[in-house]
Amino acid sequence: MPLISAFYGILIYLYAENTSKHNKPHIHAYYNEYELVISCEGEILAGSNNFPSKQKKLVEAWVAIHSDELNAAWIAWNRDGEKLKIKGLE
């Protein structure tokens, strides 16, 4: 699982699909011990109940800004194993 971005203490990772069809293209965001799973289109898939609100809003904003890049990174990672980095929030 490559780290594709980091900002304000939030780490963003992609996971490979492995052998079976995974969920829709998505990322895993980590902040301390919290995890949020969000699709490349911005739909929260898991972890919204405990992920801190301020950091959740930052991740949602980042996904909205970079959704096209996220989809490209998902395809590159799952098809070719290529790790694409995406700029964080500043």
Structure tokens at 47: 């972890």
Residue 24 included in any domain: yes
Cross-strand bridge partners of residue 46: 37
- Reported as a single tens digit per residue, the pLDDT across 24-79 is 788 899 999 999 998 888 888 888 788 999 999 999 999 999 988 988 988 888 88
Average pLDDT over residues 75-88: 83
Alpha-carbon separation of residue 69 from 23, 27, 51, 66, 86 (angstroms): 18, 12, 24, 5, 7
pLDDT at 16 over 70: no
User: What does the pLDDT read at residue 15?
Assistant: 75
pLDDT band for position 81 (50/70/90)? Answer: confident
DSSP letter, residue 58: H
- 58 Rama sector, left if φ>0, alpha if ψ -120 to 50, beta otherwise: alpha
Residue 89 included in any domain: no
Residue 31 included in any domain: yes
Structure tokens at 28: 């895993």
Average pLDDT over residues 8-31: 78
Residue 76 included in any domain: yes
The number of folded domains in the chain is 1
Structural domain for 27, as ranges? 3-80
Residue 57 included in any domain: yes
Residue 87 included in any domain: no
